[in-house]
Chain A
Amino acid sequence: MKAMLLAGLLFLATYPALAERPIISVSKQAEFRAAEDDMVIAIMNHGYKPTKTQPIDHGLRAKGYESRDYHLVLFGNLDEQEKAIAIEPRIAVLLPLKIMIYRIEGGRIGASIPDLSMWKQLYRNEQLNPVIDKWQRDSESILKEFAGR
């Protein structure tokens, strides 16, 4: 009886983790352009180089679709990237690192990153885990700096 109760509680305890979305997001009140500048500065403060801003919204509007402001900021660290590729060239599938910036209702600007940790299970290469963990940690810290936390 106690074992069954324990099993039930264990299932309940694991539920929130399984239900998490693989996206981490923050938001703040700001002008879109200023928010984009803040993001570039936060990326640089963490030792990464912003390489490109891809205006997804411009492409959509040019094709006749309505779109909120939607920009993708690509970034990377050459040294870390080269070391990871030397371990497993297929890590390139995860690159470049990216953060999405977008306008949300009420004038707030949102920023989101993918949760890279699920890729550790998919690559199944223990040597890659510290690299993926660092990119995830840094990306989250960039989001926090952007949000002013």
Chain B
Amino acid sequence: MFFRSPFILLLLGLILVAPHHAMAAEQSTLQPFISAKTKKTMGQALADLNAAIESSNYVFIRRQDVDQDLAESGQENHRIVFVFFCNFAMLDSALKIDPGVGVFLPCKITLIDTGDEIEIIAANPALVSHALNEPRLDELCDKLTSDYRNIIEEAAQ
């Protein structure tokens, strides 16, 4: 009898769905990428990126070409380079909140040589916490977003 009322059904639908629609709307307003462009050479941009990573309290893990270990040795594409880095305290906190966050690891910034400039770019970490709908990750991912922005801007200057 209770569920026969269309008003109750509508109300129930709105209560259940509204927060998720709000989340989807919020996600759509987030910038998917954090990026900056620079006229530096790839080598200089890489060196400055490493320095910016370390000055932001992250540990440089490694760098690799986009097709490293896929292309023949000596034939790699040096125009797209990944830089992996980590802050182990933040990593530990994130995994303790939600082990699933591991699929979005590790921290990575990509350098793309477009021909006349280098684009330094990363996926916006805030998208992860919003997509996971895990409020306890919000603060951590917002900090990561802020750090990524600072690192990328510092490397591009």
A21/B132 in contact, CB under 8 A = yes
In the assembled complex, B135 has its CB within 8 A of some CB on chain A: no
B88 engages A65 (CB within 8 Å): yes
Whether A112 lies near B112 (C-beta < 8 A) is no
Residue B74 at the chain A interface, CB threshold 8 Å: no
> How many residues of chain A get a CB closer than 8 Å to chain B's CBs?
56
- Could you count the A-B residue pairs with CB atoms below 8 Å apart for me: how many are there? 140
Interface residues of B in 95-143 (CB under 8 A from A): 95, 99-100, 102-106, 110, 112, 114, 119, 121-123, 127, 131-133
Does B91 lie within 8 Å of A90, measured CB to CB?
no
Q: Which residues of A32-87 are within 8 A (CB) of B?
A: 49, 51-52, 54, 56, 59-60, 63, 65, 67-68, 70, 72, 76-78, 81-82, 85
If A70-B95, A89-B112, A92-B80 touch, whether A14 touches B106 (CB-CB below 8 Å) is no
CB A56 to nearest CB in B, in angstroms, measures 6
Interchain nearest-CB distance for A14 vs B (Å): 7
Size range of the interface on B?
35 or more
Residues in chain B near residue A99, CB distance under 8 A: 103
Could you say which residues of chain A place their CB within 8 Å of the CB of B21?
18
A25 at the interface (CB under 8 A from B): yes
Flag B1-21 by CB within 8 Å of A: 1 or 0 each.
Answer: 000001101111110110011
- Interface 0/1 of A1-34, CB less than 8 Å to B: 1101101111110110011011101000000000
